[in-house]
Amino acid sequence: MMKQNGNTSEQSERGLLPYVVIVAATKGDPEAMKMVVQHYEGYISYLSTRTLKDERGNTYYGIDEDIRDRLRSKLMRAVLDFEV
């Protein structure tokens, strides 16, 4: 079935992780866990973006590496604790 934009219904769901990947990640498969973390990498970066100032007082946005690492760890822990 073709949609108006030319994508099939399967391709329109490309923003979702496949169920088999989620199940494999909950069982501790490292490749599946890597796919889950990559899927949420943009959102993690968004959440860890902070307003920073340099030594001259200029303000800019940057990613707080500590917060990003904590969010990744929290995601991995949540996936491993999830019961399918």
Structural domain that includes position 58: 19-81
pLDDT tens across 34-68, in order? 999 999 999 999 999 999 898 999 999 999 999 99
Q: What would the two tokens of residue 68 be?
A: 């990003």
Domains contained in the chain, number: 1
Is 8 among the domain residues?
Answer: no
Is 45 among the domain residues?
Answer: yes
Is 3 among the domain residues?
Answer: no
Distances 32 to 44, 59, 83 between C-alpha atoms, Å: 18, 38, 16
Is 6 among the domain residues?
Answer: no
**pTM exceeds cut of 0.85:** no
At 76, the pLDDT band (50, 70, 90 cuts) reads: very high
